[in-house]
Structure 1
Amino acid sequence: MDINIRGPLLQLASLSEYLKDNASVIVTSSSSVYEGAKLTSLYTASKGALSAVIRVWSNELAHRGIRVNSLALGPVITNLRRFLSIEEQVEFEKSIVEQLPLGRAASANEIANVAMFLFSSASSYITGSEIPVDGGLIKR
């Protein structure tokens, strides 16, 4: 809860006065908010709270033209599971990827491309939204 909700709340509260008008704020949520997977209740609750907060922030900062959006990330290739053995990592990745219509985890560049769109003027009429970047997992 400290990392996934308290940290971003305090960060935006302390930094919002420094944001330029018409800026774009992006937070990362998770597809787990919509999945209901076992053993993820605290993580899911923290990301769900963050998903809700972006809608409030988008209203609070709209008068300055500041847009606030979220990326609901699915599986991304990272070293997050480095504490698992190689065999456990392979099995874990396989179990996740089997659920994805696109059949693979995202690269960091694929996530960055969506973020760059939200940072750009091409998304100037998008705020308070959560964009799934999840290989089709939640189909939302």
Structure 2
Amino acid sequence: MDYKNFQTFTAEQKGGILTVDINFGPVNVQGQEMLADLSSLCLRLERDRSVKVVVFQSSNPGYWVCHYDTNLLRDMSEEAVPRNEVKLLDLQSVLERLSNVPQATIAKIEGFARGGGHEMALALDMRFAARGKAKFMQMEVGMGI
């Protein structure tokens, strides 16, 4: 399987292990580019039985994945709706798909995992944080969302 042509990360396969190295701008913001790349990655992983484990790490030691692009939150409904009418945000849909790939998925975290980055880590099967370097933050509470 070909794991090339991503904008926000590189992916390298060695044997049954695929290492995804996130490298998108200064803080690895989850915008449409990263969501498109993650969706494309999921499509490939769903079809590839040669990969057994996927490790997500960052090229930037200060940030694993910073947060969801807050400009994209304009799509959120401000009105209460019945549970069966709730529509997932793009981020939620992609992370749900990522959580269901057949491979074991691992977050190797140094630096900030904030908001959507924290949620991405939680969507994976395992999380390993560098002692004294990893920082987790869920800013949605302070933003009232």
TM (norm. structure 1) is 0.34
Structure showing greater relative contact order (alpha-carbon pairs closer than 8 Å, 6 or more residues apart): 1
Greater strand share, structure number:
2
* Larger-Rg structure: 1
